[in-house]
Structure 1
Amino acid sequence: MPQIQVRGTSHYYEWIKTPKDGEKKPVMVFMHGWGGSSRYWETPAKALSETFDCLLYDMRGFGRSRKLSPVGNGNVLAEESSPLAEEPATAQELTYEMEEYADDLAGLLETLQCDRVYVNAHSMGASVAVFFLNRYPELVEKAILTCSGVFEYDEKAFKAFHKFGGYVVKFRPRWLYQLPLVDQMFMKRFVHRPLPSAISRAFLDDFLMADYQAAVGTMITSVSEKAAQVMPNEFAKLTVPTLIVAGEYDIIIPAAMGRVAAGLSDKVEYVEIPDTAHFPMLEAPEAYLKVVQEFLGIGTERSFDQTVAS
């Protein structure tokens, strides 16, 4: 399992490439959302690998880049009494702010000697990507932000969300994974079209195994008063050509939020994919691929084969 040290922490990464007569291809880096991992980007990456060398990585604390927090009785993954309980400090005292994750990506690209890339990011990963685009515009050709946008701050709703989310993250018994159809129930809120069981089970597994502090920390920083205030300015500052792709029935990040974000900069285009929700690249893969190709001005013979590595 390939791991690389980035800013003092170990990150999982992998390449998906299709050799093309020794031709050097541009790099597209894929960024996953909250509680997930790069696994769900594997089939989209394969579909684009004729044109790009595709770099997938798991963000700090998630997927195969997790640094497990202390566990309690073995039935749950973490028993911290506080959502942001103190953990052993890293050499660089990293936090769970979106800007820090943007700096993680810059460190990854520097370590792998990737000069200028295309970015394809989803959900929370797209929020990180917006900061990355503004902090390191010289490193990016174009960006695709799937299920991203801006939202208004609601103190009461945000506090309730953080409290409920903290409980959900704290109590994640592994035996849930063994229950029949639990993966479909877990994904029901996120999709309009059902996904193959292998993909749904991978999502559930990633959520159950995510590091406690990273899961709670990023939940608080990505959905916060600061984020509501800062993100509109970040979208307005974009200088990198960017496409926002929204799902028509997304209730996690409603399409309206994406439309608002796209209206803040003439560098941002907006496309909405019908009959999809929070994972349009998996719910309507061919439509998603076409939208991405048109934005990038490319064509490919590859299509999606919806499988995921276990």
Structure 2
Amino acid sequence: MLSFTRQGNQEGPTLVFMHYLGGSANTWTPAINNLKHDYDCIAFDMPGFGNSGALKDMSIQSQAKTVWENIRDLKIKKPFLIGHSMSGKIAAIISLQFPDAISGLILVAPSPLTPQPMTVQQYLQQKEWTGSSEEAKAFVDGACSQPLKPELKELAIEDTLRADCKAFHKWADNGSQEDYEGVFDKVKLPVKLIIGNDDRSVPNITEQIKRTLVYFNPYSFKIIEDCGHLLPLECPKELCKEIDIFVSLIYK
């Protein structure tokens, strides 16, 4: 079973959090602290990160299957899935496969369902990842619009250093480049995309609609100002406000 944390009000709607490449369940701590009074908050260490071991097959489909099996093992009914960056792609695949078993999908600066555009520098950074402190610091700094609070930067760097290097390599060459255009039928499931206005790691909002949101109905989006790619750490309060608005509209 994947390593996970569970906090909050188990009488409320269940939110299942999945983190970005290099993160862990800890990535979501600031957000969960803002949401746990009203929601049942479960955060997974994705395969190869945190305390979860990598899978033999690190494809998007394999990771999606593993996460869904873990959700079912916890006997969670109709959760809201929240996927950030790398895990946005995984959460979207789960939602397209099991739309009737999910209440809603929140995509936070997600990798798209089509191959993710990367600069040569971004590709080599992940493909040649060795897990050094210098790499971890550069990786975290490069993903942010503004410097993180010291304690959150330390958390992000520590998480990155714990990651299985092969998970980075597999993501660069395989997971990020998997193409699901036209593979799934469009589904009736509410989805909200939340992205920072200064995110240089994933496609812009126009491309996100074309590549991912178009598969869901209804969909909506929110652009958060003065924020980069690491929204759960850069702007947790603003992010939680958007999550709460979305869930509250559905869970009446």
Change (3 A) 1:247 1:158: closer
Q: Which residue of 1 aligns with 2:80?
A: 118
Q: Which runs of 5+ in 1 are unaligned?
A: 6-10, 68-89, 299-310
The percent of aligned pairs where both chains have the same amino acid is: 20
Change (3 A) 1:275 1:254: farther
Structure 1 stretches of at least 4 aligned residues deviating more than 4 Å after TM superposition: 151-155, 157-164
Q: Which residue of 2 aligns with 1:241?
A: 190
1:201 aligns with 2:201: no
Of the two, which has the highest radius of gyration? 1
Aligned AA (2:131): R
Asked whether the 8 Å contact 1:249–1:255 carries over to 2, the reply is no
Within-5 A mapping of 1:187-198: 187-198=140-151
Change (3 A) 1:284 1:206: closer
Q: How high is the TM-score relative to the length of structure 2?
A: 0.85
Change (3 A) 1:150 1:205: same
Q: How high is the TM-score relative to the length of structure 1?
A: 0.71
1:144 aligns with 2:106: yes
Deviation of 1:253 (Å):
0.8
1:217 aligns with 2:170: yes
Deviation of 1:43 (Å):
1.6
Asked whether the 8 Å contact 1:126–1:147 carries over to 2, the reply is yes
When the two chains are superposed, the root-mean-square deviation of aligned CA atoms in Å is 2.8
Q: Which residue of 1 aligns with 2:244?
A: 293
Deviation of 1:254 (Å):
3.6
Change (3 A) 1:196 1:98: same
Which of 37, 45, 49 lines up with 1:62 in the alignment? 49
Deviation of 1:287 (Å):
2.1
Deviation of 1:283 (Å):
2.0
Change (3 A) 1:217 1:50: same
Q: Which residue of 2 aligns with 1:107?
A: 69
Q: Which runs of 5+ in 2 are unaligned?
A: none
Within-5 A mapping of 1:1-310: 5=1, 11-18=2-9, 24-66=11-53, 94-148=56-110, 150=112, 162-167=123-128, 169=129, 171-173=130-132, 176=134, 183=137, 185-224=138-177, 226-227=178-179, 230=180, 232-233=181-182, 237-256=186-205, 257-260=207-210, 261-263=212-214, 265-297=216-248
- Cα distance in 2 for partners of 1:138, 1:206 equals 34
Aligned AA (2:127): G
Q: How many residues align?
A: 247
Deviation of 1:285 (Å):
2.6
Q: Secondary structure, in 3 states, of the residue corresponding to 1:267?
A: strand
